[in-house]
Amino acid sequence: MLTSIKNAFFETFGRAPEVVTRAPGRIEFLGNHTDYNEGVVLSLAVDRATWVAAAAREDTQCRVHSLEQDSTREFPLDVPADPVPGDWVNYVKGVLVELRKRGYRPPAFDAVIGSTVPMSAGMSSSAALEMSFALAMGRMAGIDLPWTEWARIGQGAENNYVGARTGLLDQFSSLRGRKGHLVFSDFRTLEVDNVPLPDETAVVVADSMVKHQLTNEYNERRSRCEEAVAFLKTRYDGVTALRDVTRAELEACKPDMDIMAWRRAMHVVGENERVFAGVEALAKNDLVGFGRLMFESHESARTLFENSCVELDILVEIGRSLPGCFGARLSGGGFGGISVHLVQATEAENYARRLGTAYQTRTDIAPDIMLCQPDDGAAVVEG
Ligand code: GLA
C-alpha cells in the first residue's frame, strides 16, 4: 500500500508526497454505546486501514483525491462553515476546523487518500480517515499533541462538523490498537490497556451490506441516555453519567421512568458489566464464557437498545449454529453494518464460507465476510 499510495500521489499531483500516514478501522468487540456514557469498551484496531499521502502547498487551496471514490475535492484552507451533506471530504474539513479552533494553522496541501476499510459498514472508516489525515497534518505543521487530543480532534470533526454526536471509541481504537491484542478503554478515566486475544481464536467480520445512516438514530439514542441520566440524578447522589448507576439502582427506578429511556439505559449498564466480565474471562482463557457475553450483548442490543436489524440478527443466529463459534454480536453504532464473530482459529475459513452461504440463502444479499486480525494503531509511516 505504501508504494501504491505514493505512486498515486505522484500521478495525481506530479510530485512526491512529504508524508505518508496510516490509520486502521476498528471493530467494537464488546461494550455497545457505552463510550459516550463514560463506560468501558473492548475493541480492536483492524488490519484494514486508511492511508494518506500529503504535501504542503504554497497557496491557500487544498486538493484531496480519494482513490476509492475516484474523485477530487478542492476547497480553501479557510474551510466553509457548512458541510456538504454526505460528502466524504467533510471528515478532512472537520479536522482542519478543529485544528484551527485550537489555534493551529497547518499549510494548504495536496493529499491522496486510499483505504481498505469498508465504508458505512460500522468499521469506522470515518475515524480512520480523520486520524490518518490528522497525523499527516500534525507532521507537516510540526504539531505535537498527546494522543488523546488527536482523538478529540477526530471526535470534534464528527460532533461539530459532520453532526454525529459520537463518542471517542473509534478514534481511541484507531490510535491505540496493538497486533494480537484487544483495546480496553475506560471513557471515564481515559485509560487504555491492551488485552491479548488468545492465539487459538480468529475474528470473523460479516458486513450485512445494510448501509447504516448513523446520524439520526444514533443522536436519538444518545438523547435517551441523557434523559435517563437526568432522571437518575433526581434519585441518586453523585450521578453524572450512566456509568454511575448499578443494575439494581436502575431496576428500582423502572416503575417511574420513561420506559424507552429505561431500556436504553439498561443496555448500557449491562454492557459495562459484560465488558468487565469479558476482561476476566479472557484472563482465564475462558473463551466460551467470553462468547456467551457476546451473545448476551447482541440480545440486549436487539431487545433493549433496538439498534439491531433483521439481517444482523440472522448473521448472529447463523453464527451460533456453526462449528467453532464462541460468540457473535452486532458491532458499532448498529442499524445495519457488521457483526463480529469470535471463532476457533482452525474453523475460521470454513466458518466464514458457511456464514456467507447461509446468509445469502436466507436474505438474498451477498455479504462481505472478512477474516480480520487485531493490528497496530495509527502512525506516520514515512516523512
Ligand atoms: C459508533 C460511534 C462510537 C460508539 C459506537 C457504539 O461507532 O462512533 O463512538 O458510540 O458507535 O458503541
Per-residue pLDDT of the chain (383 residues; tens, 9 = 90+): 999 999 999 999 999 999 999 999 999 999 999 999 999 999 999 999 999 999 999 999 999 999 999 999 999 999 988 899 989 999 999 999 999 999 999 999 999 999 999 888 889 999 999 999 999 999 999 999 999 999 999 999 999 999 989 999 999 999 999 999 999 999 999 999 999 999 999 999 999 999 876 678 999 999 999 999 999 999 999 999 999 999 999 999 999 999 999 999 999 999 999 999 999 999 999 999 999 999 999 999 999 999 999 999 999 999 999 999 999 999 999 999 999 999 999 999 999 999 999 999 999 999 999 999 999 999 999 99
Distance between CA 334 and CA 329 in Å, rounded?
A: 10
Say yes or no: 300 and 368 in one domain: yes
Residue 383 in domain: no
Q: All 3 cell numbers of residue 187? A: 471513557
In terms of C-beta density within 10 A (0-12 exposed, 13-18 middle, 19 or more buried), how is residue 115 classed? buried
Say yes or no: 182 and 240 in one domain: no
For the chain, what is the domain count? 2
Query: Quick one: which H or E segment has residue 341?
Result: strand 338-344
* Residue at grid coordinates 463506560: 39
Residue 381 in domain: no
In terms of C-beta density within 10 A (0-12 exposed, 13-18 middle, 19 or more buried), how is residue 289 classed? middle
Residue type, 162: V
The residue range of the domain holding 271 is: 201-372
Confirm if 331 and 206 have CB atoms less than 8 A apart.
Answer: no
Say yes or no: 170 and 283 in one domain: no
Confirm if 359 and 210 have CB atoms less than 8 A apart.
Answer: no
Q: Is 334's C-beta closer than 6 angstroms to any atom of ligand 1?
A: no
Give the pTM: 0.96
Say yes or no: 161 and 282 in one domain: no
Say yes or no: 217 and 170 in one domain: no
Partner residues linked to 144 by β-bridges: none
Query: What is the 167 CA–ligand 1 centroid distance (Å)?
Result: 6
Q: Last residue of a domain, which of 155, 174, 196?
A: 196
CATH number, position 235: 3.30.70.890
Catalytic residue numbers? 170
Closest ligand 1 atom to the C-alpha of 168?
9
Query: What is the 110 CA–ligand 1 centroid distance (Å)?
Result: 30
Confirm if 52 and 132 have CB atoms less than 8 A apart.
Answer: yes
Partner residues linked to 64 by β-bridges: 73, 111
Q: Is 333's C-beta closer than 6 angstroms to any atom of ligand 1?
A: yes
Query: What is the 86 CA–ligand 1 centroid distance (Å)?
Result: 18
Residue 114 in domain: yes
Q: Is 66's C-beta closer than 6 angstroms to any atom of ligand 1?
A: no
Say yes or no: 170 and 245 in one domain: no
Residue 379 in domain: no
CATH number, position 180: 3.30.230.10
Say yes or no: 262 and 319 in one domain: yes
Query: What is the 370 CA–ligand 1 centroid distance (Å)?
Result: 21
Residue with the nearest Cα to atom 8 of ligand 1? 166
Confirm if 328 and 339 have CB atoms less than 8 A apart.
Answer: yes
Residue 37 in domain: yes
Q: Last residue of a domain, which of 196, 223, 249?
A: 196
* Other CB atoms within 10 Å distance of the CB of residue 152: 18
Say yes or no: 239 and 338 in one domain: yes
Q: Last residue of a domain, which of 164, 196, 228?
A: 196
In terms of C-beta density within 10 A (0-12 exposed, 13-18 middle, 19 or more buried), how is residue 15 classed? exposed
Closest ligand 1 atom to the C-alpha of 333?
11
Closest ligand 1 atom to the C-alpha of 34?
12
Residue with the nearest Cα to atom 10 of ligand 1? 33
Say yes or no: 179 and 214 in one domain: no
